[in-house]
Amino acid sequence: MKQEYVIGIDLGGTKILTALADLEGNILAEVRKPTEADKGKNSVIAKIKDTIYEVLGQTEVAIEEVEGIGLGSPGPLNIEEGIIYHTPNLNLDNVNIIEELKDVGPPIFLENDANAAALGEKYFGAGKDAQDLIYVTVSTGIGGGIIIGGEVYHGASDGAGEIGHLTLLPNSDQKCGCGNYGCWEAVASGTALSRLGREAVKNGEDTLLADLVDDATEVNGAVIAKAAKKGDQVASEIVEQIAEYLGIGFASLINIFNPEKIIIGGGVSKSWPLLQDTVLANVEQRAMEALTAEVEIVTSQLEDKIGVKGAIATALVGLKELS
């Protein structure tokens, strides 16, 4: 019997991670290459192709046995047509990636990386038994993927799920990458966490943070978490602040979408034990009781495989829709 496989490609600003998987999503081989986006569009596309052929080369699998290729990319995108519109991190502007990869052979399915991550959780992670879930990644920014009735909610032009840009503090002077002020990601992401830590050190506050940093280490989320665990008051207050803002955002998501699960990923989720109590207290205080009773807030179990697992899930979903 002919074996059937899929390939998942996690296309990121720093690396391309490509994996060959069976139709259950078990990864059989993987290849990682630096994106080197500064070398330009053609170089990035050639590298994507290289990872595909190299991952096949690690196994006995022929490209003819690959049923589909899922590609998770930063947006904005047109997923039907395969267009990546504008991604400063990738140096790809208005590139039709499906067209560019057509000569590889199998059908290509494009998905926004955060949506793909949500699919990865739904198929292989903490969201396996859920039909309605939201994946929230909290790292340098805050991104999200919304799954309604088992399917990604794309919106009118594939732009849905930009949850990091809900205005959390209307009078904030924190400018967001999107141009607005006081966005959720501008005040509650890992970047915001580090900023608050750096400000505390700069203002000469009485904190361990100043001792934990040296020329090689700057104030980052891990340093702040370490200080908070040691009982540092300033670090604990910073963590509390971020947790409160995260809780406020989650409460809104719960009220709007009534999800069964919110799954948190990204670097900041590693500090979930520190954040949890305040996040949940804010959710309880601010979201509607009947809705909070339904929702479970958990952390991702897919860790650094979330992107590629999401791309594999994207291929499987695409194939299901084709058949």
- Per CB under 5 A, contacts with Zn ion among 25-44 are none
CB of 13 to Zn ion, least distance (A): 18
* Interface stretch with Zn ion, choices 95-103, 162-170, 203-211, 308-316 (CB under 5 A): 162-170
Rounded CA-CA distance 242/253 in Å is: 17
Q: Which residue type is seen at 320?
A: K
Rounded CA-CA distance 233/122 in Å is: 38
CB of 167 to Zn ion, least distance (A): 8
**b/e per residue, 187-220, with b = 16+ CB within 10 A?**
bbbbbbbbbbbbebbeeeeebbbbebbeeeeebb
Rounded CA-CA distance 7/50 in Å is: 13
Rounded CA-CA distance 123/25 in Å is: 8
Rounded CA-CA distance 193/197 in Å is: 6
Residue of 161, 156, 118 lying closest to 266 (CA atoms): 118
Nearer to Zn ion, 96 or 180 (CB): 180
Q: Quick count: other Cβ atoms within 10 Å of Cβ 221?
A: 25
Nearer to Zn ion, 178 or 322 (CB): 178
* Interface stretch with Zn ion, choices 3-11, 77-85, 165-173, 292-300 (CB under 5 A): 165-173
CB of 76 to Zn ion, least distance (A): 14
Nearer to Zn ion, 116 or 183 (CB): 183
* Interface stretch with Zn ion, choices 57-65, 125-133, 173-181, 220-228 (CB under 5 A): 173-181
CB of 185 to Zn ion, least distance (A): 6
- Of positions 47, 122, 154, 165, contacts Zn ion by CB under 5 A: 165
Residue of 73, 242, 103, 111 lying closest to 168 (CA atoms): 242
Q: Is 183 a residue that touches Zn ion (CB under 5 A)?
A: yes
CB of 105 to Zn ion, least distance (A): 39
Q: Is 187 a residue that touches Zn ion (CB under 5 A)?
A: no
CB of 176 to Zn ion, least distance (A): 3
CB of 155 to Zn ion, least distance (A): 16
Nearer to Zn ion, 73 or 189 (CB): 189
* Interface stretch with Zn ion, choices 120-128, 142-150, 171-179, 270-278 (CB under 5 A): 171-179
Q: How many residues lie near Zn ion (CB under 5 A)?
A: 5
Rg of the chain taking only CA atoms, in angstroms: 20
* Interface stretch with Zn ion, choices 172-180, 193-201, 239-247, 268-276 (CB under 5 A): 172-180
- Of positions 9, 21, 176, 234, contacts Zn ion by CB under 5 A: 176
Q: Is 174 a residue that touches Zn ion (CB under 5 A)?
A: no
For helices 221-229 and 190-202, what crossing angle results, to 10°?
A: 70
What are the φ/ψ torsions at residue 81 (nearest 5 degrees)?
-80, -20
- Of positions 28, 46, 62, 178, contacts Zn ion by CB under 5 A: 178
Measured CA distances, 41 to 66, 79, 110, 166, 320 (Å): 25, 19, 17, 32, 31
Q: Is 188 a residue that touches Zn ion (CB under 5 A)?
A: no
CB of 175 to Zn ion, least distance (A): 9
- Of positions 167, 180, 236, 252, contacts Zn ion by CB under 5 A: 180
SS (H, E, C) 187-235: HHCHHHHHHHHHHHHHCCCCCCHHHHCCCCCCCCHHHHHHHHHCCCHHH
What residues make contact with Zn ion under the rule CB under 5 A?
Answer: 165, 176, 178, 180, 183
